[in-house]
Amino acid sequence: MAGLEKSSGDAVFKFEPCVLHVQCRRLEDAQLLHSVAINSGFRNSGVTVGKKGKIIMAVRSTHCLEVPLSHKGKVLVSEEYITFLVGVANNKMGENLKRIERFSECLRSALEPDEEKRRVKGAELEEKTVYRRRRRRERERERDSTGSDDCRVVQQSDGQQSSELDCELGLFS
């Protein structure tokens, strides 16, 4: 409150949730990431395709908070209200962390090789989404024509195998 009372301009209390931008080489990869993001609670996520074909998948949420506290040096709120805002922002931060964890788990599951899923669950898994069926058909066609699979399997340091999306993670301005 002392710092707020000393200010001569405008002060705003602001909370912004996680934002992740992923540049994908293929639209199918961006669609998979989009599905995972939406199902994980990042409802404001979307895919953008630039003029030169650059595909960007943005993982965004809607639970922001922005509240003016002072205007031209005049404090507009009480100390009790600021304490309340801190509590609301902390709750939003907790929800943000849960969504990030859920996104990470769902993405790992979506990238897990089919063989690993069957071994873990002990039975055949039925592919329910149209995307997975379409992608599997595309891979089979590519294998038939080229003899290789477009997905790469990466050997991890712990000996586990995981499939790898053809994407590059990065932050963009």
**DSSP tag of 172:** -
Q: How many CA atoms lie within 13 A of 165 on its CB side?
A: 22
Res 46: pLDDT: 94
Q: In this structure, are residues 96 and 63 in contact, taking their beta carbons and an 8 Å threshold?
A: yes
Res 121: pLDDT: 53
Residue 162 makes CB contacts below 8 A (sequence gap 6+) with 108, 111, 112, 113, 116, 153, 154, 156
Res 151: pLDDT: 35
Domain 2-169 has CATH 3.30.1960.10: yes
Domain boundaries, the chain: 2-169
Along the chain (173 residues), what's the average pLDDT of each consecutive run of 10 residues? 85 92 93 93 92 93 91 91 95 94 92 63 47 66 52 39 43 38
Res 47: pLDDT: 95
